[in-house]
Amino acid sequence: MYQDALHDLNDQDYSDSTREGIHRTGRMIFRKALEMELIKKDPTEFAYLKKEKKTIEQLEEEEIPKYLEKEELALFLKTAEDYGLEHDYLIFLILSYTGIRVGELVALKWKDVDFVNHTISITKTYYIPTNKTLKYLLVTPKTRKSRRKIIVDEEIINALKEHKEVQNQVIKQLEDDYYDKDFIFTKMERQHGYPIVIKTVQNRMKRLLSLADLNPELTQHSLRHTHTSLLAEADVALEQIMDRLGHSDDQITKDVYLHVTQEMKKEASQKFSELMRSLR
């Protein structure tokens, strides 16, 4: 049954990385069940993922993850500033300028912000198992690398200060009706003070992309790839980028980095050739 389920994922055209992630999770679950003596045999032991050989054409057509060029990012943030709903500009400014995950952003509390040293500490992520706002969980990041402290720009610090002043006024007005657990991004219409849900960020981004006439297929995770590409363009080393993003090994990040740096190398070669031609 387990093997059939893996084959079924292949028939549904899920990507290799998605199927591998599901298979890894399945193995973890059944191994734990074996350890707890809930089952006698691990059904994932000899299971395998079916991989079809790709043609040269398919390999050539494969694209790296979609992200925004710097001019597009500037337009997106300007749109968020001019036409965004509550929190939008600050949310997307932080996601774009730090590369943090949306779950990490939603879980942020004021105590995570160091206004003096201009840092944001990532120590937890948001999880909502039942899709009910009041039943959220804050869980520790999955790896040691995910727990990190990010240096941020003064623009973000100033925007956070402004946001805190507004939020303090709301707390003062609502008093006991405000669920005050120190969250930075909170619901303001109902369930005041509870952290906003990830779906809200997804919907807000879709709206802003439409207003800015940008690629509608981009997601909030694309801002993480955007951050990677712009750091690479700014000549930041891959190791530093990985450290900032909070993972020790990620092929997608490497692919984005290599793509951008490869383009930069081509440009350097072209500039050299142009210089030599000008001397003839």
Per residue in 25-72, pLDDT (tens digit) is: 999 999 999 999 999 999 998 888 877 666 555 544 456 678 899 999
- CATH code of residue 156: 1.10.443.10
Q: Is residue 45 located within the same domain as residue 84?
A: no
d(CA 203, CA 187): 15
Q: Of 58, 81, 102, at which residue does a domain stop?
A: 58
The predicted pLDDT at position 53 comes to 64
DSSP 16-68: HHHHHHHHHHHHHHHHHHHHTTS-SS-TTTT-----PPPPHHHHHH--PPP--
Whether 176 is covered by a domain: the verdict is: yes
Q: Of 212, 236, 246, which is closest to residue 75 (Cα–Cα)?
A: 212
Residue 146 amino acid letter: S
Tokens for 260?
């951008």
Contact 136, 194 (CB under 8 A): yes
* Residue indicated by tokens 């402290």: 149
d(CA 222, CA 224): 5
Active site residues: 101, 221, 224, 247, 257
130 by DSSP, 3-state: which?
coil
Q: Is residue 77 located within the same domain as residue 183?
A: yes
* Residue indicated by tokens 């730090």: 98
Residues of the chain under the 50 pLDDT cut: 59-61
**Which secondary structure element, helix H or strand E, spans residue 120, and what is its range?**
strand 119-122
Q: Is residue 77 located within the same domain as residue 215?
A: yes
- Total of domains in the chain: 3
Q: Is residue 150 located within the same domain as residue 108?
A: yes
The predicted pLDDT at position 209 comes to 97
Q: Which residue stretches of 131-250 are H helix?
A: 154-174, 198-211, 222-233, 238-245
Q: Is residue 164 located within the same domain as residue 92?
A: yes
Q: Of 196, 221, 246, at which residue does a domain stop?
A: 221
The predicted pLDDT at position 227 comes to 94
Whether 64 is covered by a domain: the verdict is: no
Which residue range is the domain that position 213 belongs to? Answer: 70-221
Whether 63 is covered by a domain: the verdict is: no
